[in-house]
Amino acid sequence: MKERSPILICALMMLIVFNQCRSESYLGRWVIWNKSDIKDHEKFPNHPFHASSEPFYFNNKLDPSCDTLLVSQTRTKKVPLGKILEESKTTALIIIRDDTIIYEKYLNGYDKHSINTSFSTAKSITYLIVGAAIDDGFIKSENDKVTDYIPELLQVDPNYSYLKLCHLLDMQSGIQFKDHDLPWGDKPKAYYHPRLRERVLELPLTSQPGEFFKYNSYNPILLGLIIERTTGLSPAVYFENRIWNQLGMEYNGSWSMDSKDSRTTKMESGLNLRAVDLAKIGRLVLNYGKWDEKQIISEQWIKKLFSITPEKNVTTFGEEIFYESLWWLYSKDKQNPYIISAWGHLGQYIYIFPDDQLIIIRMGKKIGNVDSWGKIFKEIAGYE
């Protein structure tokens, strides 16, 4: 019998590994799905949301001059806004002032009806869900110990007894998070792991809770687990009942889950919706948790986003930037924010300018050839 060549044996072994990777395994997803993109809502199972039978529509008074507004592509180069959008893989840009859409553009194969994965803007929306759970009495306070709700974490590390919900909200948990994209890193594990509920219950602490800021995608997943245990509902269902169904959403949406078996809501990244409906989340925050005449989330909870705690300054991101309760705030005086914002991978943004009653939504396939979308949004608002 003829001996098999080493090349053939290697090819057969790679085929076996590849076939194993086709299963619903973490490594399989890391290999086959590779880089995340805004169509990832098609890969994950999800909990679907339905459009409202009585949708809310923003007023429309489009200002065509916005297309020619000169904004900063780089520090030294300004170009018309319309040109940047065409060249930056932007899928949607909406500018809303006083409940009126003054600019709305869809590009790169997308239109108003196209759904996008919102990535980490979902983290910011998790804060709203926690607030609703406190309003409803399921959670007592953001100062509660996490182990009051998830006592088994004490078996991982007794120092979990010091971890509070506010530490999760402010990215000060001290939980391990290896921030790189290699397969043993926590960044891809938090995104691709098919059993997130198990994953977040096995993580060690690498620093004392409350000691310092470290952006960590496991934090909102733990908050989702607390929502699940206290309400008896998946966070997606609770969000649907308490928030989604109250905002007059024009289109269907969904919240991705880690797998069909685990059905853990991907709180760190999984909200999928249209740009105009994402703007309604911004409107809810802008109006202190109130939707028309109905208080959806307590004003006191939302007001936390309208003031600055100086020690929440994240100087590695900028002297004006603060991180408070899963939202990014901009402040010049370290007292009052002039921007409340949510950021997501590949350039998904909610920017709220409270003093100007202005909301800007940007969604895209990539950040694109732009130095800073934040700077562009500030230029649109007249703050640069």
Give pLDDT, residue 40: 94
Give pLDDT, residue 198: 97
Over residues 180-209, mean pLDDT? 96
Say yes or no to pLDDT of 3 above 50.
Answer: no
Give residue-wise pLDDT tens across range 205-219. Answer: 999 999 999 999 999
Give pLDDT, residue 147: 98
Say yes or no to pLDDT of 168 above 60.
Answer: yes
Give pLDDT, residue 345: 97
Give pLDDT, residue 384: 82
Average model confidence (pLDDT) for the chain? 94
> How many residues are given for the chain?
384
Over residues 293-297, mean pLDDT? 97
Say yes or no to pLDDT of 10 above 70.
Answer: no
- Residue 5 DSSP one-character state: P
For the chain, what are the domain ranges? 1-32, 40-62+89-367
d(CA 264, CA 239): 14
Q: In terms of DSSP bridges, do strands 59-60 and 100-106 run parallel, antiparallel, or are they unpaired?
A: parallel
- Of the two residues 3 and 108, the one the predictor is more confident about is 108
Give pLDDT, residue 4: 45
Over residues 351-355, mean pLDDT? 98
Q: Which fold has domain 40-62+89-367?
A: Beta-lactamase (3.40.710)
| Beta-bridge mates of residue 323 | 328
Say yes or no to pLDDT of 90 above 50.
Answer: yes
Say yes or no to pLDDT of 297 above 50.
Answer: yes
Place of tokens 């090819």: 11
237 pLDDT tier (thresholds 50, 70, 90): very high
- The beta strands (E) that lie in 218-288 are given as 253-256, 271-273
Q: 359-382: b or e for each residue (b if 16 or more CB lie within 10 Å)?
A: bbbbbbbbbbebebbbbbbbbbbe
d(CA 384, CA 382): 6
d(CA 141, CA 213): 21
9 pLDDT tier (thresholds 50, 70, 90): low
d(CA 16, CA 39): 28
Give residue-wise pLDDT tens across range 299-329. Answer: 999 999 999 999 999 999 999 999 999 999 9
DSSP character string of 73-139: SSSS-EEEHHHHHHHTTEEEEEEEETTEEEEEEE-TT--TT--EE-TTHHHHHHHHHHHHHHHTTSS
Secondary structure of residue 48 in the 3-state scheme: strand
pTM of the model: 0.93
Taking alpha carbons only, the member of 133, 153, 135 closest to residue 145 is 153
19 pLDDT tier (thresholds 50, 70, 90): very low
Say yes or no to pLDDT of 232 above 70.
Answer: yes
Give the dihedral sign, CA 351/256/129/218: negative
> Are 320 and 54 in contact, with CB atoms under 8 Å apart?
no
Give pLDDT, residue 212: 94
Say yes or no to pLDDT of 78 above 70.
Answer: yes
1 pLDDT tier (thresholds 50, 70, 90): very low
Q: Left, alpha or beta for 259 (phi > 0: left; psi -120 to 50: alpha)?
A: beta
Give pLDDT, residue 16: 46
> Per the structure block, which two tokens stand in for 289?
């948790």
Q: In this structure, what are the phi and psi dihedrals at residue 184, rounded to the nearest 5 degrees?
A: -90, 5
Give pLDDT, residue 34: 84
